[in-house]
């Protein structure tokens, strides 16, 4: 395994350990920590499987999964963001978003731009400001690497989706130990806040150190992660890998799996 990927796995595991300890000590059911642990194990197994999946499939899946959630997923106060898997509701776009960030950079061109328009539309319709901002940030980083019209169009659509989602606001109330976790850590003056944030920064930026055709994908993934974490610091939104939830963990691991394989001649 490549050294930056190994660093990611270690930092991810440590983030879950620190945040899990804090959540349990703050009164969260211990089952939350076990679900996160199970998601980590499952995600690492799936990472090696997705390494063999064409990047085009990872580009199409996020928008398709998000559309599936919108059309048929469970509803909470009229909001559709989840798909039911084995009796567990999984946040659809948060599961697929990290892979999309990597696949968008890999594929490029108008097909990737159209997929971004579809994905951005899903985040706007849900509405989900955190995911919309993460998408816009990942495309913005890609634009720094690949300056072309399709990427610029994709960024404009993603930015519009983020503005729309922010204007509409989130109709759902914050869920304890899922949203606003970092703010609560800080208000408790817990050292776990700084430790978790440092580990999270390491876990999400280490892929940018990859070489052999992988670095640009790692940068796009880092941009996605910065957007998602930034949104969680702005408002009571999920903090990936820190709060309770299997989808961010699975999504992160799947993106690492996609980064294991270098870009081919057909993947820019």
What is the average per-residue pLDDT within 129-135?
93
Name 248's Cβ contacts closer than 8 Å, sequence gap at least 6.
91, 94, 228, 238, 240, 241
Spatial separation of the C-alpha atoms in residues 109 and 154, rounded to whole Å: 10
- pLDDT band of residue 188 (cuts 50, 70, 90) is confident
Least confident of 65-69, 107-111, 191-195: 65-69
Mean pLDDT (the chain, rounded)? 83
- pLDDT band of residue 62 (cuts 50, 70, 90) is low
Per-residue model confidence (pLDDT) at position 49? 78
Q: Are 46 and 257 in contact (CB under 8 A)?
A: yes
What is the average per-residue pLDDT within 179-185?
82
What is the average per-residue pLDDT within 129-144?
93
pTM more than 0.75: yes
Nearest to 81 by CA among 114, 35, 122, 32: 122
pLDDT in tens, 25-41: 888 888 888 889 999 99
pLDDT in tens, 101-125: 888 888 888 988 998 998 899 899 8
The answer on pLDDT for 191 being more than 80 is yes
Which is more confidently placed, 218 or 210? 218
The answer on pLDDT for 208 being more than 80 is no
- pLDDT band of residue 59 (cuts 50, 70, 90) is low
Helices (H), the chain: 3-25, 30-50, 55-72, 92-107, 109-125, 129-145, 149-168, 181-187, 191-205, 215-234, 246-260
The answer on pLDDT for 88 being more than 90 is no
Residue 127, preceding peptide bond in cis (omega within 30° of 0): yes
Spatial separation of the C-alpha atoms in residues 7 and 98, rounded to whole Å: 18
Which is more confidently placed, 26 or 73? 26
Nearest to 25 by CA among 238, 180, 190, 196: 190
Rg (CA), the chain: 17
Q: Is the dihedral of CA 180, 184, 187, 191 positive or negative?
A: negative
The answer on pLDDT for 265 being more than 60 is no
């Amino acid at each position: 395994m490549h050294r930056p990927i190994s660093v990611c796995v270690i930092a991810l595991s440590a983030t879950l350990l620190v945040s899990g300890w804090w959540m349990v000590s703050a009164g969260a059911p211990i089952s939350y920590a076990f679900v996160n642990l199970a998601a980590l194990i499952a995600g690492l197994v799936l990472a090696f499987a997705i390494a063999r999946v064409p990047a085009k499939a990872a580009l199409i899946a996020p928008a398709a999964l998000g559309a599936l959630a919108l059309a048929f997923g469970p509803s909470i106060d009229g909001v559709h963001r989840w798909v039911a898997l084995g009796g567990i509701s999984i946040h659809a776009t948060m599961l697929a978003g990290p892979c999309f960030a990597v696949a968008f950079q890999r594929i490029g061109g108008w097909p990737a731009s159209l997929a971004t328009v579809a994905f951005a539309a899903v985040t706007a319709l849900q509405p989900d400001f955190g995911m919309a901002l993460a998408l816009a940030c990942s495309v913005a980083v890609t634009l720094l690497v690949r300056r072309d019209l399709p990427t610029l169009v994709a960024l404009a659509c993603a930015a519009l989706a983020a503005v729309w989602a922010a204007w509409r606001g989130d109709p759902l109330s914050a869920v304890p130990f899922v949203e606003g976790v970092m703010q609560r850590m800080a208000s408790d003056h817990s050292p776990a806040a700084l430790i978790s944030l440092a580990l999270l920064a390491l876990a999400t930026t280490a892929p940018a150190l990859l070489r052999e055709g992988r670095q640009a994908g790692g940068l796009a993934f880092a941009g996605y992660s910065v957007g998602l974490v930034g949104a969680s610091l702005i408002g009571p939104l999920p903090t990936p890998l820190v709060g309770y939830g299997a989808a961010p963990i699975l999504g992160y691991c799947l993106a690492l799996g996609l980064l294991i394989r270098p870009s081919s001649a057909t993947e820019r």
